[in-house]
Amino acid sequence: MKKEENFSEWYNEIVEQAGLTDKRYPVKGMNVWPAYGWKVMRHIDTFIREELDATGHDEVCFPLLIPETEFKKEKDHIKGFDAEVYWVTHAGLNELDIRLLLRPTSETAMYPMFSLWIRSHGDLPLKVYQLVNTFRYETKQTRSFIRVREIHFFESHTCHESESDAQGQIEEDFVILENIMKRLALPYLLLCRTEWDKFPGAYYTVGIDTYMPSGRSLQLGSIHHYRENFSRPFDIKYEDVEGNQKYVHQTTFGMSERLIGAVVGVHGDDKGLVLPPDIAPIQAIIVPIIAKGNLEEILESARHLADDLKAAGIRVQVDDSDERPGAKFYKWELKGVPLRLELGGRDIANEVVSYARRDISEKGTFSRKNVAESVSTLLAVISDDMRDKARERMDSSITTIDSLDNIPEKWLRFGWCGTEECGKEIEEAADIKILGSPYDKEEFDGKCLACGKDTNIVVYAARAM
Amino acid sequence: MKKEENFSEWYNEIVEQAGLTDKRYPVKGMNVWPAYGWKVMRHIDTFIREELDATGHDEVCFPLLIPETEFKKEKDHIKGFDAEVYWVTHAGLNELDIRLLLRPTSETAMYPMFSLWIRSHGDLPLKVYQLVNTFRYETKQTRSFIRVREIHFFESHTCHESESDAQGQIEEDFVILENIMKRLALPYLLLCRTEWDKFPGAYYTVGIDTYMPSGRSLQLGSIHHYRENFSRPFDIKYEDVEGNQKYVHQTTFGMSERLIGAVVGVHGDDKGLVLPPDIAPIQAIIVPIIAKGNLEEILESARHLADDLKAAGIRVQVDDSDERPGAKFYKWELKGVPLRLELGGRDIANEVVSYARRDISEKGTFSRKNVAESVSTLLAVISDDMRDKARERMDSSITTIDSLDNIPEKWLRFGWCGTEECGKEIEEAADIKILGSPYDKEEFDGKCLACGKDTNIVVYAARAM
């Protein structure tokens, strides 16, 4: 499994061998979450909940099935999803009067209820989110976590009195996002999508993109400002302080299990996964190094060590299986455990614990006495180092170009006049996708890659995974 | 809202007014979980996870959609669900080659994978569970939490080497069940379902039934022994120590959001919900009693009180809204908050906190100094008292009868010869459902209610919700 030689093959093998997913389920693009993979996802979900709860969002849960009649209320929206939804047409032995679709996203499930929930300015802002699975009939080749047909994701939906209040929500979303991405040690860019690529029904869309070692971009999620685009067709109105009826301004923010796909792709290596400590189901694996005659002593010592680490809140496991140490090293490296602790007769005699980092080939020893503190500190260092390394790799991959000739397989940065004509010309000529211009404006003084006109607009582009 | 006069109407009103559910979603039988109701459900989910994790079950997540071909592998199973499943027939603009159904339960989703996962006795026991939503096209009248079409539930599935190992799992399930039900302060009976009422494909089914104040029974979940009934059609085999290929023995255990329905029905009163402290989103509500001029002092004191309680792990909230105390009392009683704390000028002067219990009309004061400890202790007492009261009510409702005349609207207990003929005759004559004979055998020496023959079999029966 060589990541550099064939990223795609490496990725497909590693996710299954490490136990993140099982692709043998008999429906294409719908995979099973085995215990290990689901634990990683649940750690991510926990961070999402922490961040959203702390910013005053309420967790709710809306039905999966949406009536066709509601779905069709926002015209652009239905057009965007027409080819991608699953239709429930029969229940039991009956054909349904109104077809139901499996949520591809929950605007049209939630907004009829918002229109009942919101009466006055006192009900605003309304901030809710849910963590559910969503369904899209992908016609492109599927890939675990990255392009699947049943997708685990969160979606937050908010309603506000004004466009600027909604804008304030989007700024808050950026802070939430940064806190979550820190835990995953993932760098990203916030890019304002082009008009022809924004979410169906959105006023504007900010894509959250990361850079994959294959040279491609991966969209991890998005943040949308809807203005009144949905509140008008769904009649979500409030009475303002002067007694006037007004439409709310809405935003949404969502990210999916693609976060795991990014973690695998960005951090993994030829030995397998490298999991950021915050989402690793096992943060430290203890491998007893048994010599003849000292089995019981070593195992007991390993269990004490585990107890001390557990007491400090570290997720630790002792591998007391019959396999040889080398096989154990191989297994836990494949599964991406951030830290391996080894305990043999000599370690015990010297009152130390040997360690090996997963992210870099560093080995050393801790004093047994303060081991819990040392492990916690090192896990934090590993997390920071992983983040820095990934950020540097992403930054160094960004290549500013001023011509369509010899385009490298990198993240590209170039001038664009802003017209759809030139944008699409560039996309077609270079077989890339324009991801958009940075949300935090970058100073730029150059020329449009297509028409050559002077422009201040700079955009990022890449081939998509 | 009088619970005694019209239980059904009372129930339907209370669940919505208290914020547990919103029934206005435009698909019948599919309700929205607003924040308050979802919090209650998530507390229950947390207990389920704790219990299943502690007994060595792994949480997994299987796809929602099951191919018709897999579903049809176990003949009894498909017959049992034929009229109740939702069918996905189209995706995007295409008709699917193989229809997909929304899981009514996950045997047929999981077992094709189990057959890949299990190779040898070393892989056994396999114990997994998932917390997901399931779908059944109910044709009877729907009722929040009790009979809905999208159902939140957990299902654990286990595979074992032998029938007796599987039997051991069922004994473990009873311990798990007891621990969960303690938190909910819910009494229940374990009743072995009749042959004609057992789960489609099961060897035997134990129903978990509770008694509703309406005089009806409510099935909260069930535990099944499948023997080899599924492992044969799904080819789930293992190699035993002697190298022989054998079929695994399987069990399942599941309970649904009906647990909330039972909590509402069993504990609630004319004022609204009465939530067991362990699942109450707010365990103590602090109502500041403001007199003129002391607003700031009282509010500050209330916030300090809340901080002290939070530090002790108590879920507490200060109601600092502009409403009058009476309106606040009414609101939090409706929502079932177990304990109300009042804080006025006199309380502060006397260094006490006044309290009122939700479950009984007891009021008193705590010393401000040890208030966190006092609140914790009282919440535990409330939980125990609620459980005892509910258990007594259930026990006293069980009525042993020896004739089909003048059958009361209670839980009935009577002799039955064990034949399907007599069983169905009794069910029809009395318009009741035989729930089954107690899993823990009860000494009995009587006559069959239908044919009059001597019998040692005693069964429980009631009208179902």
pLDDT per residue as tens, chain B (465 positions): 799 999 999 999 999 999 999 999 999 999 999 999 999 999 999 999 999 999 999 999 999 999 999 999 888 878 888 889 999 999 998 999 999 999 999 999 999 999 999 999 999 999 999 999 999 999 899 999 999 999 999 999 999 999 999 999 999 999 999 999 999 999 999 999 999 999 888 999 999 999 999 889 999 999 999 999 999 999 999 999 999 999 999 999 999 999 999 999 999 999 999 999 999 999 999 999 998 888 899 999 999 999 999 999 999 999 999 999 999 999 999 999 999 999 999 999 999 999 999 999 999 999 999 999 999 999 999 999 999 999 999 999 999 999 988 888 899 999 999 999 999 999 999 999 999 999 999 999 999 999 999 999 999 999 877
Please tell me the predicted confidence (pLDDT) of residue B41: 98
Please tell me the predicted confidence (pLDDT) of residue A77: 78
Please tell me the predicted confidence (pLDDT) of residue B74: 81
Interchain CB distance below 8 Å, A59 and B82: no
Interface probe for B, chosen from A24, A28, A30, A138 (most Cβ of B below 10 Å), is A30
**Residue B65 at interface with chain A, using a CB cutoff of 8 Å:** yes
**H-assigned helices in B398-419:** none
Please tell me the predicted confidence (pLDDT) of residue A363: 97
Angle in degrees, 0-180, between the axes of helices A35-54 and A258-267, rounded to the nearest 10 = 110
Which residues lie closer than 8 Å to A243 by C-beta, 6 or more apart?
A: none
Which B residues in the span 150-179 are in contact with A, Cβ-Cβ below 8 Å?
Answer: 150, 152
Interface probe for A, chosen from B20, B60, B79 (most Cβ of A below 10 Å), is B60
Dist CA A26 CA B67 (whole Å): 7
Interface probe for B, chosen from A87, A115, A153 (most Cβ of B below 10 Å), is A87
Interchain CB distance below 8 Å, A65 and B150: yes
Q: Which amino acid, residue A103?
A: R
Nearest CA-CA distance, residue B245 and chain A, Å: 23
Residues of A in contact with B100 (CB under 8 A): 27, 86
Please tell me the predicted confidence (pLDDT) of residue A269: 97
Tell which residue, A114, A115, A119, A199, has the closest CA to residue A157: A114
Nearest CA-CA distance, residue A152 and chain B, Å: 10
Q: Name the residue of chain B whose CA is nearest to A24's CA.
A: B113
Query: Who among B33, B85, B150 is closest to A60 (CB)?
Result: B33
- Taking only the tens place, the pLDDT of each residue in A140-169 is 999 999 999 999 999 999 999 999 999 999
Alpha carbon dihedral A148, A154, A158, A164, in 10-degree steps, equals -80
Please tell me the predicted confidence (pLDDT) of residue A444: 96
Query: Who among A69, A89, A116 is closest to B89 (CB)?
Result: A89
Please tell me the predicted confidence (pLDDT) of residue B356: 98
ipTM of predicted complex: 0.96
Please tell me the predicted confidence (pLDDT) of residue A259: 98
B440 burial class (0-12, 13-18, 19+ CB within 10 angstroms)?
exposed
Query: Who among A31, A63, A92 is closest to B32 (CB)?
Result: A63
Contact B281, B273 (CB under 8 A): no
Which B residues in the span 67-126 are in contact with A, Cβ-Cβ below 8 Å?
Answer: 67, 69-70, 82-93, 100, 102, 109, 112-113, 116
Q: Name the residue of chain B whose CA is nearest to A129's CA.
A: B35
Q: What angle do CA B417, B422, B424 make, to 5 degrees?
A: 130
Class of domain B282-380: alpha beta
Element (H, E) at B43: helix B35-54
Residues of B in contact with A31 (CB under 8 A): 63
Task: State the DSSP code for B10.
Answer: H
Element (H, E) at A318: strand A316-318
Contact A382, A389 (CB under 8 A): no
Query: Who among A59, A91, A137 is closest to B86 (CB)?
Result: A91
Interchain CB distance below 8 Å, A85 and B92: yes
B7-61+107-267 carries CATH number 3.30.930.10 = yes
B443 burial class (0-12, 13-18, 19+ CB within 10 angstroms)?
exposed
Interchain CB distance below 8 Å, B35 and A24: no
Backbone angles phi, psi at B20, to 5 degrees: -80, -30
B370 burial class (0-12, 13-18, 19+ CB within 10 angstroms)?
exposed
Backbone angles phi, psi at A271, to 5 degrees: -85, -15
Please tell me the predicted confidence (pLDDT) of residue A104: 95
Interchain CB distance below 8 Å, B113 and A32: yes
Interchain CB distance below 8 Å, A62 and B32: yes
**H-assigned helices in B239-344:** 258-267, 295-311, 325-334
What are A4-7's contacts with CB under 8 Å, separation 24+?
A4/A213, A7/A212, A7/A213, A7/A214, A7/A265
Which B residues in the span 423-462 are in contact with A, Cβ-Cβ below 8 Å?
Answer: none
Domain spanning B397-462: which superfamily? C-terminal domain of ProRS (3.30.110.30)
- Taking only the tens place, the pLDDT of each residue in A34-50 is 999 999 999 999 999 99
- Taking only the tens place, the pLDDT of each residue in A395-424 is 999 999 999 988 888 999 999 999 999 999
Interface probe for B, chosen from A23, A24, A32, A52 (most Cβ of B below 10 Å), is A32
Other CB atoms within a 10 A radius of the CB of residue A182 amount to: 15
Nearest CA-CA distance, residue B9 and chain A, Å: 22
Please tell me the predicted confidence (pLDDT) of residue A463: 87
Residues of A in contact with B86 (CB under 8 A): 65, 88, 90-91, 100
Residues of B in contact with A91 (CB under 8 A): 85-87, 137
Please tell me the predicted confidence (pLDDT) of residue B77: 78
Q: What single string gives the DSSP state of each residue in A121-172?
A: GGG-SEEEEEEEEEE----SPPBTTTB-SEEEEEEEEEEESSHHHHHHHHHH
Read off the tokens for A434: 């324009």
Q: Where are the domains of chain B?
A: 7-61+107-267, 282-380, 397-462
Query: Who among A69, A90, A116 is closest to B89 (CB)?
Result: A90
CA distances from B429 to B397, B413, B432 (A): 21, 15, 8
Tell which residue, B92, B440, B400, B399, has the closest CA to residue B215: B399
Backbone angles phi, psi at A133, to 5 degrees: -100, 150
Which B residues in the span 30-49 are in contact with A, Cβ-Cβ below 8 Å?
Answer: 30-35, 38-39, 41-42
Dist CA A375 CA A355 (whole Å): 9
Please tell me the predicted confidence (pLDDT) of residue A357: 98
Please tell me the predicted confidence (pLDDT) of residue A251: 98
Q: Do domains B7-61+107-267 and B397-462 have the same CATH topology?
A: no
**Residue B131 at interface with chain A, using a CB cutoff of 8 Å:** no
Please tell me the predicted confidence (pLDDT) of residue B29: 94
Interface probe for B, chosen from A20, A23, A50, A64 (most Cβ of B below 10 Å), is A64
pTM above 0.95, yes or no: yes
β partners of residue A247: A237
Contact A142, A73 (CB under 8 A): no
Q: How many helices (H) and strands (E) does chain A have?
A: 12, 23
Q: What is the CATH number of domain A282-381?
A: 3.40.50.800
Residue entry with tokens 């901030």: A127
Which parts of B260-407 are beta strand (E)? 284-289, 316-318, 339-344, 352-357, 363-367, 398-400
Q: Prior bond to B125 cis, omega within 30?
A: yes
Contact B184, B259 (CB under 8 A): yes
- Taking only the tens place, the pLDDT of each residue in A53-83 is 999 999 999 999 999 999 998 888 788 888 8
Low-confidence residues in chain A, pLDDT < 70? none
Q: Prior bond to A125 cis, omega within 30?
A: yes
Dist CA B140 CA B159 (whole Å): 34
Q: Which amino acid, residue A381?
A: V
Please tell me the predicted confidence (pLDDT) of residue B88: 97
